Structure 1
């Protein structure tokens, strides 16, 4: 019988997700900073400070504000001369991946469908409200980008889709079929109420709409610098500790592969690479990013990025450790 060599890779939480999936936490009285709500009356913008903080891949830096077109309360206001409000559409064209067609959806109903598709309704109301602001901001930025440069290549007929490529969206009919009529009476009403409570609210950085209002389910304890994930650096997306995820679903997971299977997956994914003989002693992490993700990994005589390894093995994260011995890795 052929001896089985196992490759065991331990994931330390989801890294930087596919677009639209970076950590989003709402903290009460957080020491990291203060978020602001800006409302727009008929003549000029005003800002109302509140004791709440959004954590979006990073501790929110000074200058990030939560802005709205609603009426402002009468206290603690100041003018923002640099504010450039984004116009929200009444409807959004949405590419439905399974049906392979474009559907026009009321914009705020779309936000409700995204919150329902991305997070459980059991979440605290404030968390649902935070998710709504993130989803609305992300959508608005993608729509504006599409107007200026065209729709994404993945779905050229619409600026947004209903999958994790953008944000997961579920219609009320789909949710009722998926979760049941009882959920619609409670879960849908709870999410709808949270979305309606934040209607029109968007995230801005130094007066401009946040381009990357991303979120994910787990960071593995530390978020990532945007420049280590994307081609561009965003000053509000920097690496910070995220100690609030000790019970996160994906914090500690393991994947095992036989040596033959591991080698085959890697070599098939990157046939242009010369790996030579792949043995346990030739499989190790060479470097990591500031956020802890694998930057470079040695496999045989070749070097791959953490993202390449992740994609080749079908892992949801590049934040993993590799333990090698004579028979297992």
Structure 2
């Protein structure tokens, strides 16, 4: 019994103290130290990305393919199918390639000295290996990192082109069944960002969401946003009417009292998951029910995973969500 207790204590000590220390140490060794100095390229001709890291308020140079791994880890669930992860890797690489100044790109508009930043509201999210460890935990880290590395390596150098030029590969979590035309969201017609069907997204935890907002808060926010708005403060929802829907089925224009506003404005004002929403009065609240998550333009990540589960490869996925494109390897890019 004493020997059993001893081994049990040793096992717990090993798992709780020793193993995490070893894993963290090994993870910290995976990337060069962040000195701010340019890193050496492992392979001749390999491209480096100038990345503005928001948390450090500094620019770091890392190999393009290492950058892509960090984006895939940050932007897509690592448990997704391999072909979906490959599609995300190619989209991430294309986004960076289009902006890399060394490849003739314009760089990051918010940080002129960088090619891209890690702010997902402006460029693409990106995380370090240490952050991956925290995100996934010790026991899942090596499996997920190996999986993402395989997705990136097997698509090395591949980018998405439209008429020979790299695209803006916009993506989002969940379309709700059909993606959006670019002009229905931002007003600009982009030929490869067309509305397409996106079945099989019901597995997304945000496929349908409900949010209740107190009536007085609804009225207050509407008046703050549009001071000249006229509506019944007791029953404002009775003066709401959908004026126009997008091809993807989302609310493009909606009448609120005496004003007609964009669905995107209402989504932002009440922090809704998407512009595909309906509303109803429930007691002293207005209940919003949304379908989908994100702007809805470009590749749906949950839709991509559903395609992968049905046997589609990453090229099939990319050509489905980006109309009229080609997926091509650029020599010297990896």
Query: When you count helix as a share of all residues, which structure comes out higher?
Result: 2
Describe the shift of the 1:275–1:147 C-alpha distance in structure 2 as closer, same or farther (beyond 3 A): farther
- The reply to whether residue 290 of structure 1 matches residue 247 of structure 2 is yes
Report 1:104-123 matches (<5 A).
104-123=61-80
In the alignment, the residues of structure 1 paired with residue 104 and residue 173 of structure 2 have an alpha-carbon distance, to the nearest angstrom, of 30
- The reply to whether residue 164 of structure 1 matches residue 115 of structure 2 is no
Normalised by the length of structure 2, the TM-score is 0.66
Equivalent of residue 130 in structure 1, options 69, 87, 95:
87
Equivalent of residue 305 in structure 1, options 247, 262, 286:
262
How far apart are residue 328 of structure 1 and its match? Answer: 5.2
In the alignment, the residues of structure 2 paired with residue 294 and residue 89 of structure 1 have an alpha-carbon distance, to the nearest angstrom, of 45
Post-superposition CA distance 1:191-212 (Å, at most 9, x none)? 1011001100111123332x22
- The reply to whether residue 151 of structure 1 matches residue 111 of structure 2 is no
Report 1:27-46 matches (<5 A).
none
Equivalent of residue 226 in structure 1, options 158, 165, 182:
182
Q: Secondary structure at the match of 2:232?
A: coil
Post-superposition CA distance 1:279-323 (Å, at most 9, x none)? 231123222111112111222222221111111111231111123
Q: How many residues align?
A: 239
In the alignment, the residues of structure 2 paired with residue 250 and residue 267 of structure 1 have an alpha-carbon distance, to the nearest angstrom, of 29
In the alignment, the residues of structure 2 paired with residue 91 and residue 305 of structure 1 have an alpha-carbon distance, to the nearest angstrom, of 40
RMSD in angstroms over aligned alpha carbons?
2.4
Describe the shift of the 1:307–1:128 C-alpha distance in structure 2 as closer, same or farther (beyond 3 A): same
Unaligned runs of 5+ in 2: 1-44, 287-334
Q: Secondary structure at the match of 1:112?
A: helix
Normalised by the length of structure 1, the TM-score is 0.66
Residue in structure 2 matched with residue 236 of structure 1 by the alignment: 192
Unaligned runs of 5+ in 1: 1-87
In the alignment, the residues of structure 2 paired with residue 302 and residue 145 of structure 1 have an alpha-carbon distance, to the nearest angstrom, of 47
For the 8 Å contact 1:280–1:328, the answer to whether it is kept is: no
Residue in structure 2 matched with residue 280 of structure 1 by the alignment: 237
